[in-house]
Amino acid sequence: MMLRMILADDEPIITRGIKKLLDWKMFGIEITGEYEDGRAAFEAIIRERPDIALLDISMPGMSGVDILRECKAMNNPVAVVFISGFQDFEYAKAALQYGAVDYLLKPVIREELLKAIEKSILLSGKERDDGREDAKGRIGNGIIDYAPLITDEDEGYVPIYADIVYRKEEDEQIKKLVHFSLVSFLEEYLNETGEGIVFRKDGKIVIVLKKTGADEVYKIVEDIWEKSVEASGHTTFFVVGDAVHSMSEIPEMFRQCLTKSGYLFFAEQMAVPVINLHEKIFAARENSETPGELRQKLFDAVIAQNEVQIQQISRRYGKLVMRLAEGKKEDACYYYCSAIRFMEERFAAFDLPGRGLDIRELLEKGRTSENFSEMRELFEQEFEAYPKIIREAAVNSDRKDILKAKEYIEKHYMENLSLNVLAEEIHMNPYYFSSFFKKNTGENFKDYVNRVRIEHALPMLLSSDMKTYEIAEKVGFGDIRMFNAAFMKIYRETPGSYRKRAREQGDR
């Protein structure tokens, strides 16, 4: 349930600033009142019984210390945090002996406010467990109240593990507050619906629902998920255990739920992160690709400098990693590092400069990822950096390699000269060589070779009596049709027509 808090300061700018410093709703706190004098604040504490009060120590009507002293005399458990100006600092510090939770010096600093609120929340929870009316079922004193699970019909119980996907920038203090907020929401939800209970065990959030049909359980959990996301502002994650028939079986079933806790790392990749013990979380498609196949395709796309394909294949590889990892962060990191190692090895095999990445360092970097989205982004950036290495290396070697290629074509044009043969001679991948050749000559490989062959065929057409099919064979064309097609593409007439026209012009 939401904790209630009031603010009191005779300077409204201070209360407005405090309201903006934190996302109070995310921490399960509702600000129920703002006051500019001590008397009004004290009356609100008596009337509304807030859990927390942030009070200026020096206010008209009643001072903050006066309010605290009266509250203690009345056994009112409100957690009081003092706010003081510099001139009242020693007074506020001394006021801790009256039972204040903490004191803050103006202007209030966010980190110090967080610490004070965390102390107040912990104190509020203890006070509730120690005797307030809404203490029943409250978490904190180690006693679990199973009474709400008891029904007239012995239908059994469904244990569920719940957790939160935290953000990378959130420190341990904020995580504790968000955790508290989620537990408070779950407690309020289950108290209102009567569908089960929630408690913490060894720092883990345990939900136990009264057993209903399997479909109904999932509807309840999905409803909890949707509303918990709204309440906490975070993605939440649930593992639904099998139904058990006695309370003594709940601990063992919950331990089984914890075996799936690794999927919390992948929760953001699930449309609704509610799973059970037996389902395949990321199911394989028919004819799905293997890691080796995708690594090779990724390498080919890098060599071809095809950025769109690199992104597409990287995404397919990420989906495969999620499936193969089976909820294990370490395994996901291993599969990604294996792809980087493969890339480095292939670059070395093709005499291309690699990036010299230290796989152990990369593994450690991957392990620090808060969730799979972050890990995937890390490695996709590593994949996308490889084409730049090729481009930088190409700047220094393009001219030399293209001259070598042209020289080879000039010497071997009459042979069965294929792109693969020449790529091997230049020590390049055929896919990369194809785009490399066109980029540096303005022609694709086939058209360039055909033009060289035709340049050598022209003297034979004009000064010999060789048949055109003999000339075609001599300059390297496989048959007369290929010779005719290539010749027509350049001169817009057949070799025979060209020869006849040239000779007729020579006879004039």
- Which segment of 139-143, 256-260, 365-369, 404-408 scores lowest on mean pLDDT? 139-143
Q: Which pLDDT band, with edges at 50, 70 and 90, does 141 fall under?
A: very low
Copy the structure tokens of residue 66.
């006066």
Measured CA distances, 49 to 4, 8, 71, 74, 79 (Å) = 8, 15, 10, 12, 11
Is 309 exposed, middle or buried (CB count within 10 Å of its CB: 0-12, 13-18, 19+)? middle
Residue 95 reports pLDDT greater than 80:
no
Predicted pLDDT at 169: 83
Average model confidence (pLDDT) across the chain? 86
DSSP string, 452-486: HHHHHHHHHHHH----HHHHHHHTT-SSHHHHHHH
Predicted pLDDT at 298: 94
Predicted pLDDT at 138: 40
Please tell me the distance from the alpha carbon of residue 84 to that of residue 159, in angstroms, as a whole number: 47
pLDDT tens digit sequence for 275-296: 999 888 887 776 678 999 999 9
pLDDT tens digit sequence for 387-396: 888 777 666 5
Q: Which pLDDT band, with edges at 50, 70 and 90, does 382 fall under?
A: very high
Residue 142 reports pLDDT greater than 90:
no
pLDDT tens digit sequence for 104-130: 888 888 889 999 998 888 887 654 444
Residue 135 reports pLDDT greater than 50:
no
DSSP β-ladder status, 274-276 and 235-240:
parallel
Residue 143 reports pLDDT greater than 80:
no
pLDDT (average), residues 407-413: 89
The count of C-alpha atoms lying within 13 angstroms of the C-alpha of 340, restricted to the half-sphere facing its C-beta, is 25
Predicted pLDDT at 295: 94
pTM over cut 0.85: no
Report whether 319 contacts 282 (CB < 8 A).
Answer: yes
Residue 360 reports pLDDT greater than 90:
no
Predicted pLDDT at 96: 81
Residue 154 reports pLDDT greater than 60:
no
pLDDT tens digit sequence for 257-272: 999 999 999 999 998 9
Predicted pLDDT at 285: 72
Please tell me the distance from the alpha carbon of residue 178 to that of residue 232, in angstroms, as a whole number: 7
